[in-house]
Amino acid sequence: MIQRVRGTRDFTPQDMSRRRQLEDLLRRISRDYGYREIQTPVLENAELFVTKSGPGVLNEMYSFEDKGGRAIALRPELTAPIIRFYVNDLTNLPMPLKLFCISSCFRYEEPQSGRYREFYQYDVEIIGSEKAEADAELLLLADDLCRRLGLNEVEFRIGHVGIIRGLLDAAGMPQDRQSELLRLVDKKKLDEARAYMLSEGVSEADAGDILATCQKKGDREVLKGLKGEASEYLERVIRLAEKGGASNLSLDLGVVRGLDYYTGLVFEIDAPELGAEKQICGGGSYALAELFGGQPVQSTGMAFGFDRLILAMEKTGQLAPEEGIELFILAVTPAQSEEMVRLAGGARKAGISTEFDLMGRSMSKSLKYASSRGARYALILGEREMAAGKVLLRDMDNGEQSEIGIGSVVDELRQRLAVR
For 262-273, the pLDDT digits (tens) are 889 999 999 887
Collect contacts of 392-399 with beta carbons under 8 A, ≥24 apart: 394/367, 396/328, 396/367, 396/370, 396/371
Q: What value does the mean pLDDT take over residues 402-413?
A: 93
Burial label for 80, CB within 10 Å (0-12, 13-18, 19+), is: buried
pLDDT for 278 equals: 85
Task: Evaluate if residue 75 carries a pLDDT over 80.
Answer: yes
Confidence of residue 420 (pLDDT cuts 50, 70, 90): low
217: in domain: yes
> Do residue 23 and residue 72 come from a single domain?
yes
R_g of the chain, CA atoms, integer Å: 28
CATH of the domain at 143: 3.30.930.10
Q: What value does the mean pLDDT take over residues 233-248?
A: 93
Give CA–CA dist 157/212, Å, rounded.
Answer: 17
Give CA–CA dist 268/276, Å, rounded.
Answer: 15
> Do residue 298 and residue 337 come from a single domain?
no
Domain that holds residue 141: 13-315
322: in domain: no
> Do residue 59 and residue 128 come from a single domain?
yes
pLDDT for 378 equals: 96
> Do residue 199 and residue 347 come from a single domain?
no
Return the number of other C-beta atoms located less than 10 Å from residue 132's C-beta.
Answer: 20
Note the pLDDT tens digit of each residue in 20-74.
999 999 999 999 999 999 999 999 999 999 999 888 888 899 999 999 999 999 9
Q: Tell me what percent of the residues of the chain surpass a pLDDT of 70.
A: 99
Collect contacts of 107-112 with beta carbons under 8 A, ≥24 apart: 107/60, 107/61, 107/62, 107/76, 108/59, 108/60, 108/61, 108/62, 109/60, 111/6, 111/7
Give CA–CA dist 283/299, Å, rounded.
Answer: 11
Note the pLDDT tens digit of each residue in 137-151.
999 999 999 999 888
Q: What value does the mean pLDDT take over residues 357-361?
A: 94
Mean pLDDT of the residues in the chain: 92
pLDDT for 419 equals: 66
